[in-house]
Every structure is written in C-alpha cells, then in structure tokens.
Structure 1
C-alpha cells in the first residue's frame, strides 16, 4: 500500500510540474505550424469521425483559446484525460511543443472582428434553460459565458458551435472519471456533469452546438496555401 501511495504521489507531482512548466513558457504560432503533423489527420478534416473508443466527430480546435488547449493536452499527457489516442500523442509532446501548438491553433482561422454576434444565439427552450440554470450558483454559464463562447477563465473552453456528439461524449466522460479509456478527472466538471442524467447531457450538448462560436476546422489543404 505504501508503494502504491508513493507512486500516486509521484504521479501527481509530475502532473503539477508539467502544468507549471507549460504555464511559464511562451508559445510561438510559427513554430507550432511545423509541429502539426500528428494533429491534421483528424483535426484538419471537416467532420472527421473517430471510431474508438466511442464514435464521435473529433472536436474543432481552430479558434479555441491557447490556454485551454495547453490545459487539455497537459491533462491527456498527465493521465487526467484517458482517451488512448490523445494520450499517446500528448505523451510525445514536450511542454514547449504543447504551448507552440496551442498558440498556432488559437489563431488559426480567426480574423479580427470575426467573433460571432451574441445576438445570433438561439434562445434556449424552457427545458434547456432549466438545465443550464439548475443550480444558479454553479450554472454552466458562470464559467463558459452566457453565449458559451466567452469563458471566464483561459482554462475553460469555448463550447458554442462545437459538434454535438463530441460535446455529449466529453460531458459523459466527466461522469466516468475512473474509466480507463474515456474518463476525465476534473473536480469541477465532474461535479457538474454528475448532476445531470445522460439524456439531459445530450439535450445540453445539442443546444450548445447550435450557438454561433469561434471554433472551427480549417481543412488540411488550406494549411499549405501561400496566400
């Protein structure tokens, strides 16, 4: 038992150290553009669908915040997120690679003044409105923003316009934090997701996907244009 506790403690320290390293580094988008070979095969194809361990479209990451991308990749590398493919890729990345990739994807496909007007957001149905505000002190919009596109913290993702099946799978993963392949260990999101049934999470994911947002997929063929 002591050996197990020692191993767990060492792992936790390693994760904290990795996160701290990433936060003190400065990302370079130009350098990041040279490190995307393992990313574009999935994230550079519009509508690309993963089949293992669950079938869903891979998330759109162009236009996502750099701080969140760093946080997500660090979670995969540290084991807090269990998806086998993403863990394997993250394991090959040094902290500098992570911040460079984050810098690159955060500005990819974005133009100044390109943010979608909040006025275009679809009003939620009474059912969805009740789900979002189920616990006023911990409502989804407290962190992700009223339009789900203006997070209150860099480590919180933009969700508006994201693929509904990906959002659904991601939300379910927080309910299964100990699952060896799809679980996600995050105290805040775990607490939130577990307050909802699987059916309710699907309703939330479906609504959020209809909102105008920054995230998109830039096709791989466009990444190599000279203009």
Structure 2
C-alpha cells in the first residue's frame, strides 16, 4: 500500500516537473520571439530565421566574406594625455587658436552650437583634429582648417585648450536621465557616465558638460545613422542606434545644463 502510494506520488511529481518544463519552454519562446523584438527592434533584423539562429547561438551562415576596411574609421590609437602634454607647446597652440575663436570662443567656450574646447582632454582634441585632417570625420570647414595643420600643430592646439579653465558648473539638473546613470542593459547600453565622467572616465572619451544641446543631439543622430564613424570600435554607433529620440533629447539636455555656456569663470546667479 505504501509502495503504491509512493509510486503515485512520484508519478505526480514527474508530471508536475514535465508541465513546468513545458511552461518554461513556452515562456522562453514568447520572450525570444515576441517580447524581445518589441524592446530591441534590431533583434529580428534579417528575418525570423536569423532570429532563430541567434537565439540558438549558431551562425546563419558558416562562412562569410571578410568585411572591407572602413575608410571613415579613425586611425588614431589611444594616446596618453601625458605624452600629448609633454609634446605640446601651449604658447604656439594659443597663436594657432586665434583662427578658431570665431566659432569656439576666445577662451574656448562657444555661445553657438559648436563644441566647447576649454579644458577638453588633450587626447580628445588631438584625435578629432587628426580625424578631420585625414578625412575620418567630415565637416567642410573643419576639414579645410585641419588640412593645413602639422602633427606638432595639432599637439600644440590640444595642449593649449586642455589648460584653459572649463565653464563654471551650474549644478546638476533635478533629475539625471536613466541612460546617464545606469544605462539600459537589456538594450546593451552602458551608462554614459562610465565613459564621459561621473562614474569613470574612458581614455579618449570627451568631457561633455556644458556642450550645446543641439550639437550633442546632432552627433548622436549622426552616429545612429552611420554618417559619423570615427568612434573607436563603433562604441557610440552601437549605443546611439538603440536610443529613442526622446532619450537622445534627454541626455543632450542633461549635459547641456551641466555648465554655464559663454561665461568662463562666472559663478551661477542666485535664484530669484
């Protein structure tokens, strides 16, 4: 009697386990092919078969042609700031910067929709000018100006702007966007603050506080569309493609309010 009862209990347990396993399989299918495509639009890019192969962890094709080199990818490797600072003549850089004042301001702080350069990391200015010079970043005016710069000229300009005081902080906004502080792991978006300061600083990543909102939004849009491709290892393109328009606006607005534009050294006015 007890043996029969034990067998019945075991059978019931096995049945429950099989039902739970079947339910788990159904949930996994629903998540993989219905929920994930909604929150990650590129999940089914290429069709259902590609999505099935990706979910199974196998390639759609077992062999593929080696992609051609991207002519617009940056050729600048990581350059240590100390090396740039040691090799840059601040005085000569200041003389060269006179031709930059109309757009970037007399002291590296612009009142228009172009980047502030005051206090920017030397390796960032060096990289961007080099990319303009070599055609890996496109802008009619900047490419024309950078074309006449020598390697030493670029180092001098980078050293000059790096030593200028940054715009005075205006205090953080009342709310920090989620993408800045924690990112979105489900969409493979790391927090902005891990590269651009706040949590950590990735070498070669620019200081963004006080940049023009319109400029930042335009750059993220260019990264998303692939019009700008001089980011190292495609990091910004991979992130920007996942961002929604309202998230781009929120992040750009956040960094734009982090400093007073056009008032170097000025303290914030008291609230009225």
For residues 15-94 of structure 1, the aligned pairs below 5 Å read 16=75, 19=76, 26-44=87-105, 47-49=110-112, 57-94=113-150
How many pairs does the alignment contain?
186
- Cα offset, 1:81, TM superposition: 1.4
The corresponding residue for 2:175 is: 124
The corresponding residue for 1:153 is: 202
Give me the whole-angstrom Cα distance separating, in 1, the residues matched to 2:97 and 2:244. Answer: 37
SS of corresponding position for 2:209: coil
Quote the RMSD (CA, aligned, Å): 3.3
Whether 2:211 is the aligned partner of 1:162: answer yes
Distance 1:47 1:37, change over 3 A: closer
One of 228, 240, 246 as aligned partner of 1:199: 246
Under a length normalisation based on structure 1, what TM-score does the superposition of the two structures give? 0.68
Give me the whole-angstrom Cα distance separating, in 1, the residues matched to 2:122 and 2:96. Answer: 15
Distance 1:85 1:184, change over 3 A: farther
For the pair shown, the structure with the greater C-alpha radius of gyration is 2
- Cα offset, 1:109, TM superposition: 3.1
- Cα offset, 1:116, TM superposition: 4.5
The CA deviation string for residues 31-83 of structure 1, in whole angstroms up to 9 with x for no partner, is: 1011123311211266554xxxxxxx111111111111111111222222112
The corresponding residue for 2:190 is: 138
Give me the whole-angstrom Cα distance separating, in 1, the residues matched to 2:174 and 2:210. Answer: 14
The CA deviation string for residues 153-204 of structure 1, in whole angstroms up to 9 with x for no partner, is: 3411111121111111111121122x3xxx3432111111111123321221
Q: Which has the higher contact order (CA 8 A, sep 6+)?
A: 1
Give me the whole-angstrom Cα distance separating, in 2, the residues matched to 1:217 and 1:84. Answer: 28
Distance 1:174 1:94, change over 3 A: same
The corresponding residue for 1:185 is: 230
The corresponding residue for 1:172 is: 221
Give me the whole-angstrom Cα distance separating, in 1, the residues matched to 2:245 and 2:141. Answer: 24
Q: Which ranges in structure 2 are unaligned for 5 or more consecutive residues?
A: 1-67, 265-272
SS of corresponding position for 2:159: helix
